[in-house]
Chain A
Amino acid sequence: MSAYVPLWVKSNHSFLEGASFPEELVERAHALGLPAVAITERDGVYGLVRAHMRAKELGIRVVTGAQLTVDVEGNTHQVVALAKTRRGYADLCRALSLGHARCEKGVSIITAADLEQAREVFFLCTTPATLRVLHASHGPSSLFALCARHLTDRERPREKRLRSVAKELGVQTVGANEVLYHDKLRRPLQDILACIRAGKVLSEAGHAICENAEHDLKPADELGRLFADDPACLRRTLDIAEQCAFSLDDLRYRYPEEHLPSGRSEQGWLRELAFRGARSRYRGKVPADVRTQLERELKIIRSLDYGGYFLTMHEIVQYCREQNILCQGRGSAANSAVCFCLGITAIDPVRMDLLFERFLSVERAEPPDIDLDIEHERREEVIQHVYEKYGRRHAAMVANIIRYRIRSAVRDVGKVLGLSRTDLETATRLLRHRDDILNPELLEEAGLDKDAPAAHHLASLASQILDFPRHLSVHPGGFLLGHRPVDEIVPIEPATMEARTVIQWDKYDVDNLALFKVDLLGLGALTCIHHAFDLLREHKGQSLEIATVPAEDKATYDMVSRGDTVGVFQIESRAQMAMLPRLRPRTFYDLVIEVAIVRPGPIQGDMVHPYLRRRKGEEDVDYPHPKLERILSKTLGVPIFQEQVMKLAVEAAGYTPGEADQLRRDMGAWRKSGRIEKHRTRMIPRMLAEGIPEEFAERVFSQIRGFGEYGFPESHAASFALLAYVTAWLRCHHHDAFTCAILNSQPMGFYTPATLVEDAKRHGVKVLPIDINKSRWDCTLEVITGTDTVTGVRMGLRYVKGLGVVERERVESGDPPYPNLATFVRQTRLQKKGLHALAEAGALECFGLNRRDAIWQVRSLSRFARDSLPLEPASSQISFASLASDDQVLWDYRASHHSTRGHPMRGLRHSLRARGIHEATRIRDSTHGDEVDYVGLVICRQRPGTASGVTFFTLEDETGFVNVVVWKQVFDRYAALAKTAALLGVTGKVQKADGVIHLMAKSLWAPDVTDVALAAQTHRSRDFR
């Protein structure tokens, strides 16, 4: 026996069944000298692309197929289907889509009728029933009786019956074992996976696990011995593989054609739209350099035949405009003048000197990647529009494969091993605190005996299962569109979310096959901007769009340079606020740098301080090599953007464009261990050979690794910087409208509504409390009583905790103002819970009732909500004590997560001041090195991965914020307090530099104040995100 082809092979992408990666199976087949290997995932083609890509690298062929679950008279049977041709593959995918469509998530059951059309497919049947059914529809030529020999005693009689039926029907036999792992060493892991799937523990697994370890990918001679009595059935595998000529390379994907106006070609129509857009963008006068750029881009688009893709994006953007949905392209699309002129992106790449090749190049010839940000509240409308326009068979969302991480691995593997759930829970909690490193000490600390076999198995198997797929989820916004039905390329499954369908491949698979993906992403900032523009139009008669917001506004940059940016898109975080007074942005491009520089890439690459020093003139701008000047001059010789790093690789390390592109992909595929590291050995020696200092080379590489986590390309940073500028301008000039808009766009951004309200109040915005006679569901702008034009923000009913969709409908059906409480209750027919919530929030004070009296009354009145006659029930009139002022604030927070009446800290101020503890403004006035005590509400705890265990706290009081830096040893010493305190006392040293103030904590303490409950009730911190 010289060779065979394994025809029944399942990788770990057959979820919780296969125990080897597709690549491992292909590598093993290659190492064994097999000419090909089939990949036949359970009910799909999930791991096919990964196997295909690895096989191409190794020069081994992959036979494409799937293991189908076929229903025959109410019983399910396994049938291995192998695609002979492109047509056969399409039929297979379509049948799988039908199978999935009729079942619950993750299951597919196919009927013989679904396979009726699949003529160019080989079916390898494991049971007589399927053999008979498929013989009736397909005849003997496409059928084989699959004899599997895993050395179990049940197989012999089964095979005998199968062979007998095959003989009767004139069907040939073929020998193939069910391969679940590339090496026998994976057998324990396969048992674990099978148990996870069956929901059993190992000791009670029974027949849920395999009988022996014979499901490995065997060498030809070993399998030959198993089939020594019938070598022909093994030889037949070679014939079958030979005839299954289809490869994923044969997928001739075509992007859907747009509906074109009569007489227009795709390219002609794109050209016309691009120049029409250019005239609009440049007010009728298209500059020569823009015209040249457009011509160049259109030529490349034509040569690559990508016109349809641009027209689709244009159509989606047009749809958004027609529906008054704000959208904006981001990512590398911002490098394209065509995208800019089509209205897909908002950044002028010619003016910004952005590189088109980063977006699209003839050499790469891979599909462009356009990410479209859409108002988050209305993204679903756009998604459903895409489904409607292209049809369910031509459009489906890209999958997101959920994989095992260390904590889920410990939890699932440990459960199967029968370990105590409590100990496992402790272990997973400890892992969170120990940087996800699993070691025997940690297991012991969790209560497990580290020397016990179970602990050894846990450590070993939890490591092996890492990165294994667990289940299929949906990508946040990626669509695959096709000219031909998508279900001819890849099976489509129903997603858990209603009205969504998902393909069986993730974005990496789609990228690898060079398929076009349309990304429709939700962005809260766009919702906020839209709301703000609407408010300005309605209340101030000012009509604005993103493009018409006054540019380069000095007041806006002044505000931003102070770090006064609560709520401003992208530059509102603690780290950004700390950077702004140092970088002091004065131009739009400064904002672009600001957005990109506070990222793990530049921070890990130690690029931040050199840039700041050079910007302040404290350090000369020089270049490690003269030929890098062109690349780095925009950023003062310091690489900050992803494109710069790629160009560095080309110029300084002699990367070919292909290698540079691979570097980009590897940076994008973050957390894939090893994919970036391999560039180290390639890049650093080459840079040294070019005469670049080692220290610089190392820093560049560190930055690349950082980009692997979250790095920004320049074009992407520019798109975000534009939204940052617009939101900053709105906040600077129309703080009331901005606050109202951002409150109506929640949840979004970095801060809680309470902080946004407090920030607005500190900036002189009048914020009015919730009032059932004046508030609408959303927050509104309202002219302040006694003035003609000054507007304040009236908090909306959406902030009353406990009111939902039903309550909203009922409240909106009422006709305010209501003369009394009984009328309100009768008109809205709200239930007791909703009425209680309104009373508690103080929304019923307009009826002359204090909150407690209102609660007592509504709890009785709710019984009569459905009475048509306006009769008030007789009940005892009890009067409860009114709330004290501080209690009102406490109640506000409890009932609506914010207070317009005051800050919770205000009530504590007297006692704090008596003990010499001052507010945030006083801390800001301290001198560098002063040791101070401070007490504030914790609104944010952050421990960035780049900060070596340092935790940053943002504390708030009635006057502003104080940023506290807590070193690891201090944090560990006060861990319980640090992790839980809503109200925190800090003793530390004031550190002032470049206008940025930090309190360096020496100790943390629980404030000994009388009303700690006040703080506890108001606690809503943003922690460790």
Chain B
Amino acid sequence: MKRVSCVLLPMLPLQILLREKPHWADAPIAVVDDEGPNGRITHLNAIAEKSRLRVGMRQTTARDLLPHLHTAVVSPEKALDISRELISSLQTFSPRVEAIEHAGAFHIDPEGLRGLYGGYRNWATSIHRYLRARHWRNSVTVGFHRHRTLAVAMTHGGVTILQNPSEEREQSCKTPLHEFDLPGEIFENLGALGIETLGDFLSLPRGELHSRFGAKASALHDSFAEDMQLPIQPHAFDEPSRISFQVDPPDEDQNRLLFAVKGALHSLVHQVRARGEAVQSLQLSLHLERAPLHQEQIEPASPTLDLMLLLELIRLRLNEVSLQGAVEEVELLANTVRAHAEQVALPGHQPRRDMSAAHRALDRIRAAYGEHSVTKARVLEAHLPEASFRFEPIQHARLGEQAASTPISSMVRRVYSRPKPLPPRKPTEPEAGPSLAKDHAIEHLYGPYRVSGGWWKRLVERDYYYAETDHGDLLWLFYDRPRKRWFLHGVLD
């Protein structure tokens, strides 16, 4: 009979938390679903349970009982990342691994590997030890029925090899019903009937459950039926596309290198296209002779399969760098996403501006001057002038919006990124005003306009002025009150 196995990492969120914060191991810990006071406990360690805390309790109640309780949220994204990591690890033991709905549980197909490991027990023990060595608490069960092996894994620690289906049935029937992820209300209602174990539950007539206890209870019952067992749905391998080649003899001529890269890049793009994906970014690793590894990240404006574009970006980037040694090996690693078909433009409809050309231009600038070389100003809500805007790197050019109908202020300032200190006119009386460079004098000061705040971090108190010079220039100055110093912050157009 065909075998199936189940690997279970009980209380996975709690295990994840403990890996992140190992120093909490001896303290009461709870995983909560929200950081706020109304967040509910989803998992508890034994120390917290001993202190009479319970799953489902609100954080506020739990802290009332145990003020020193450590709590944290384990985000679904985090759990998913870990799950993916675990799948990758388990794929080294069998190509057919499936993560199932029950948190921390995986079904693995052991068939065909028994010979390699010398039997199911050795195989299962290898998995158990592998995970344990990485500080994952786990149990591994090899049986015959997907859900029954899970049920056995819930109550059996370590490695369990079930000899025959009847043993599997007997063992699984003892599993308490609360181990399954049934909604609390259904669990309570079944509990009221004295249904406490899987065996009790499966003894109820299958057809009567849906109307009485709903779809979930019925589905759970069905999942244990012999005729309803689905095969394992293995998780696809999730490896980035990569290609590498040796350069022999080592070479530092960039043209020759680029030529060699072209061939490899062609194969890589072909490989990516075959997976129905496109290149989102490229990591170019150059292993140098007697010098450290040199890496470059190349990122087109949008995912692409355009070989020439990628090659051009690599060329531009290589032109900007000087390598510390000859290259002996080149590795290209493509980070990919699923490709989308480009929308075909309607005939006769030509946009006035070619945005794809703009993207290409920006790509080239970025390739030549670095990823942060293309930026856009963003206005922020803040009182401090330098905090009221920020230059942010952008990936995509956008068509400019229509100019606002409101008139542009005539007080357009060119702001210095670092205000320039100005000497005081009278060193003993800094408040009297600043002095400018030779041959320049301030004729009028307009202000002050006071900006103060940031007391919670670093107190700022500035008196801003517009200064009109005898040359007709308009300057934007401020007096830093705590520091008693004058600064030139900008010039008006």
Question: Chain A residues near B449 (CB, 8 Å)?
Answer: 151-153
**B65 beta carbon closer than 8 Å to chain A:** yes
Question: Chain B residues near A417 (CB, 8 Å)?
Answer: 456
A421 touches B452 (CB 8 A): no
Interface residues of B in 420-478 (CB under 8 A from A): 448-453, 455-457, 463-464
**A539 beta carbon closer than 8 Å to chain B:** no
Of the candidates B63, B189, B448, B452, the one whose C-beta lies within 8 Å of that of A836 is B189
Residue of B at shortest CB range from A446?
B67
**A207 beta carbon closer than 8 Å to chain B:** yes
Residue of B at shortest CB range from A851?
B192
Interface centre among A214, A425, A875, A878 (most CB of B within 10 A): A425
B205 touches A433 (CB 8 A): no
CB distance from A436 to the nearest CB of B (A): 14
Please, what's the 1-or-0 string for A406-430, where 1 marks a CB less than 8 Å from any CB in chain B? 0000000000010011100110011
**A881 beta carbon closer than 8 Å to chain B:** yes
Residue of A at shortest CB range from B463?
A151
Of the candidates A151, A152, A213, A876, the one whose C-beta lies within 8 Å of that of B208 is A876
Question: Chain B residues near A188 (CB, 8 Å)?
Answer: 455-456
A855→B450 CA distance, assembly (Å): 74
A875→B455 CA distance, assembly (Å): 73
**B231 beta carbon closer than 8 Å to chain A:** no
Of the candidates A152, A425, A426, A856, the one whose C-beta lies within 8 Å of that of B193 is A856
Residue of B at shortest CB range from A415?
B36
Interface residues of A in 412-464 (CB under 8 A from B): 417, 420-422, 425-426, 429-430, 432-433, 445, 453-454, 457
Of the candidates B67, B380, B456, the one whose C-beta lies within 8 Å of that of A429 is B67
B67 touches A209 (CB 8 A): no
A760→B36 CA distance, assembly (Å): 43
CB distance from B387 to the nearest CB of A (A): 9
Please, what's the 1-or-0 string for A856-893, where 1 marks a CB less than 8 Å from any CB in chain B? 10011001000000000001101011000000000000
CB distance from B18 to the nearest CB of A (A): 17
CB distance from B198 to the nearest CB of A (A): 17
Please, what's the 1-or-0 string for B25-52, where 1 marks a CB less than 8 Å from any CB in chain A? 0000000000111000000000000011
Interface centre among B51, B52, B66 (most CB of A within 10 A): B52
A838→B45 CA distance, assembly (Å): 37
Of the candidates B63, B194, B207, the one whose C-beta lies within 8 Å of that of A425 is B63
A851→B191 CA distance, assembly (Å): 12
CB distance from A801 to the nearest CB of B (A): 12
Of the candidates B71, B205, B382, the one whose C-beta lies within 8 Å of that of A422 is B71
**B383 beta carbon closer than 8 Å to chain A:** yes
Question: Chain A residues near B213 (CB, 8 Å)?
Answer: 859
If the complex has contacts A211-B383, A878-B204, are A852 and B193 also in contact, measured as CB distance less than 8 A?
A: yes
Interface residues of A in 243-264 (CB under 8 A from B): none
**B381 beta carbon closer than 8 Å to chain A:** yes
B35 touches A202 (CB 8 A): no
A979 touches B193 (CB 8 A): no
**A840 beta carbon closer than 8 Å to chain B:** yes
Question: Chain B residues near A209 (CB, 8 Å)?
Answer: 383, 453
Residue of A at shortest CB range from B195?
A880
CB distance from A873 to the nearest CB of B (A): 9
A452→B383 CA distance, assembly (Å): 25
CB distance from A471 to the nearest CB of B (A): 19
Question: Chain A residues near B457 (CB, 8 Å)?
Answer: 203, 453
A425 touches B65 (CB 8 A): no
**B60 beta carbon closer than 8 Å to chain A:** yes
Interface centre among A191, A209, A422 (most CB of B within 10 A): A422
**B64 beta carbon closer than 8 Å to chain A:** yes
CB distance from B184 to the nearest CB of A (A): 14
A153→B324 CA distance, assembly (Å): 54
Please, what's the 1-or-0 string for B128-143, where 1 marks a CB less than 8 Å from any CB in chain A? 0000000000000000
**A292 beta carbon closer than 8 Å to chain B:** no
Of the candidates A202, A432, A852, the one whose C-beta lies within 8 Å of that of B64 is A432
Question: Chain A residues near B35 (CB, 8 Å)?
Answer: 420-422
**A691 beta carbon closer than 8 Å to chain B:** no
**B372 beta carbon closer than 8 Å to chain A:** no
**A789 beta carbon closer than 8 Å to chain B:** no
CB distance from A183 to the nearest CB of B (A): 15
Residue of B at shortest CB range from A421?
B35
B450 touches A211 (CB 8 A): yes
**B212 beta carbon closer than 8 Å to chain A:** yes
B451 touches A852 (CB 8 A): no
A433 touches B65 (CB 8 A): no
**A212 beta carbon closer than 8 Å to chain B:** yes
Please, what's the 1-or-0 string for B65-109, where 1 marks a CB less than 8 Å from any CB in chain A? 111100110000000000000000000000000000000000000
A212 touches B67 (CB 8 A): no
A445→B66 CA distance, assembly (Å): 13
**A497 beta carbon closer than 8 Å to chain B:** no
**A976 beta carbon closer than 8 Å to chain B:** yes
A426 touches B67 (CB 8 A): yes
Question: Chain B residues near A422 (CB, 8 Å)?
Answer: 35, 59, 71-72
Question: Chain A residues near B192 (CB, 8 Å)?
Answer: 836, 840, 851-852, 855
Residue of B at shortest CB range from A432?
B64
CB distance from A1012 to the nearest CB of B (A): 11
A212 touches B456 (CB 8 A): no
A977→B51 CA distance, assembly (Å): 8
A457 touches B456 (CB 8 A): yes
A420→B63 CA distance, assembly (Å): 15
A151 touches B205 (CB 8 A): no
**B211 beta carbon closer than 8 Å to chain A:** yes
**A980 beta carbon closer than 8 Å to chain B:** yes
A154→B71 CA distance, assembly (Å): 47
**A206 beta carbon closer than 8 Å to chain B:** yes
Question: Chain B residues near A878 (CB, 8 Å)?
Answer: 204-205
Of the candidates A153, A445, A859, A980, the one whose C-beta lies within 8 Å of that of B212 is A859
Interface residues of B in 290-321 (CB under 8 A from A): none
Of the candidates B194, B208, B380, B382, the one whose C-beta lies within 8 Å of that of A875 is B208
Question: Chain A residues near B52 (CB, 8 Å)?
Answer: 976-977, 980-981
A445→B59 CA distance, assembly (Å): 17
A115→B289 CA distance, assembly (Å): 86
Of the candidates B63, B72, B464, the one whose C-beta lies within 8 Å of that of A426 is B63
A979 touches B71 (CB 8 A): no
A856 touches B212 (CB 8 A): yes
A881 touches B208 (CB 8 A): no
Residue of A at shortest CB range from B185?
A833
B194 touches A880 (CB 8 A): yes
If the complex has contacts A453-B457, A876-B208, are A429 and B450 also in contact, measured as CB distance less than 8 A?
A: no
A152→B451 CA distance, assembly (Å): 7
Interface residues of A in 931-989 (CB under 8 A from B): 976-977, 979-981
Interface residues of B in 188-210 (CB under 8 A from A): 189, 192-194, 204-205, 207-208
A206 touches B64 (CB 8 A): no
A852 touches B60 (CB 8 A): no
A213→B450 CA distance, assembly (Å): 9
CB distance from B211 to the nearest CB of A (A): 6
Question: Chain B residues near A433 (CB, 8 Å)?
Answer: 67
Question: Chain B residues near A152 (CB, 8 Å)?
Answer: 449-450
Residue of B at shortest CB range from A424?
B37
Question: Chain A residues near B36 (CB, 8 Å)?
Answer: 421, 425
A212 touches B451 (CB 8 A): yes
A402→B81 CA distance, assembly (Å): 46
Of the candidates B37, B51, B455, the one whose C-beta lies within 8 Å of that of A421 is B37
Residues of B within 8 A of A (CB): 35-37, 51-52, 59-60, 63-68, 71-72, 189, 192-194, 204-205, 207-208, 211-213, 380-383, 448-453, 455-457, 463-464
Can you sample 10 A-B contacts with CB below 8 Å?
Answer: A153-B449, A187-B455, A207-B383, A421-B36, A425-B36, A426-B67, A445-B67, A852-B192, A859-B212, A878-B205
- Besides A188-B456, A207-B381, A433-B67, 17 more A-B contacts (Cβ < 8 Å) are A151-B449, A211-B383, A212-B453, A214-B450, A421-B36, A422-B35, A429-B60, A445-B67, A445-B68, A836-B192, A851-B192, A856-B193, A859-B211, A860-B211, A876-B207, A876-B208, A880-B194
The 4 closest A-B pairs by CB, nearest first: A206-B381, A859-B212, A153-B449, A151-B450
